[in-house]
Amino acid sequence: MIIYPAIDIQNGECVRLTKGDFATSERVAADPIETAKQFEAAGATYLHMVDLDGAKNAMAQNRDVFVSVARETGLKIELGGGIRDMNTAAYYLENGIDRIILGSMAVKNPKLLAELVREYGDRIIVGIDAEDGMVKTEGWLASGRVNYITLAKEMFHIGVKHLIYTDISRDGTLTGPNLADLKKLREAVRMNIIASGGIRNVEDIRALAKIKMYGAICGKSLYKGTLDLKEAIEAAAQVEAQRAQQRPRPAGGKRKCSPNE
């Protein structure tokens, strides 16, 4: 399971929100590049970034910040917020961003989403943000009438491979992830699911790894010190190692070696 430290950008600075409420914005670091470098030094290989201004205003902002982080670090960056058209998507993907996250656009313009998937394949991630099981869009300011599992199935049929599920009611609260919803989602679709919202400590990381999440996004827990990034990465690896040991061996009791071994 991949651990994604999170950097949310508002007015060029690193901030965190609680339950997606912009009124709760709290500055947690001044320099996004230095913050990203600290995460990289702690062992991160991936980084989750969000353009909060872009999500709220329905257009990409803070572009220079994200491109600079990509250029100044070796991190693979997934970026969301304000990406609503082909030009913006192409700009980021051609300027160092590894994957882009589409939320509102995926809901409102599935034809464009399908076009992006055809063009960029698994570099397209869909972010499903839900409260009480119902999807929200426009930076979580607009409520929809679509159930999160229904939307996930639609995304799967379009060809989306990666999905971020955020329980808005837990985002930034340090109350633990919504394991029940995540389990239902994993059983409903064959996609790489990244968990977001509520992660507070290493036990939550282990719990998510045990239900075979593809990744876990960690934000406030890292900034508040309730979760150590290096420890989180190690815990996820330990669960995977234990799972590998428990897998049944081939007939005869010997593991088959690959040609590269």
Catalytic residues: 8, 129
Write b or e for each residue in 68-106: b if 16 or more Cβ atoms lie within 10 A of its Cβ, otherwise e.
ebbeebebbbbbbbbbbeeebbebbbeebbbbbbbbbbb
Amino acid identity, residue 213?
M
CB-CB neighbours of 239 under 10 Å: 17
Strand partners of residue 127: 164
Cα–Cα distance, 225 to 71 (Å, whole number): 27
Tokens standing for 13? 């600075």
d(CA 65, CA 5): 16
Secondary structure (DSSP) of 129-170: EEETTEEEETTTTEEEEEEHHHHHHHHHHHT--EEEEEEGGG
Angstrom distance (rounded) from CA 108 to CA 104: 6
Taking the C-alpha atoms of residue 258 and residue 6, their distance in angstroms, rounded to an integer, is 36
CA dist 240 and 164 (Å) reads 20
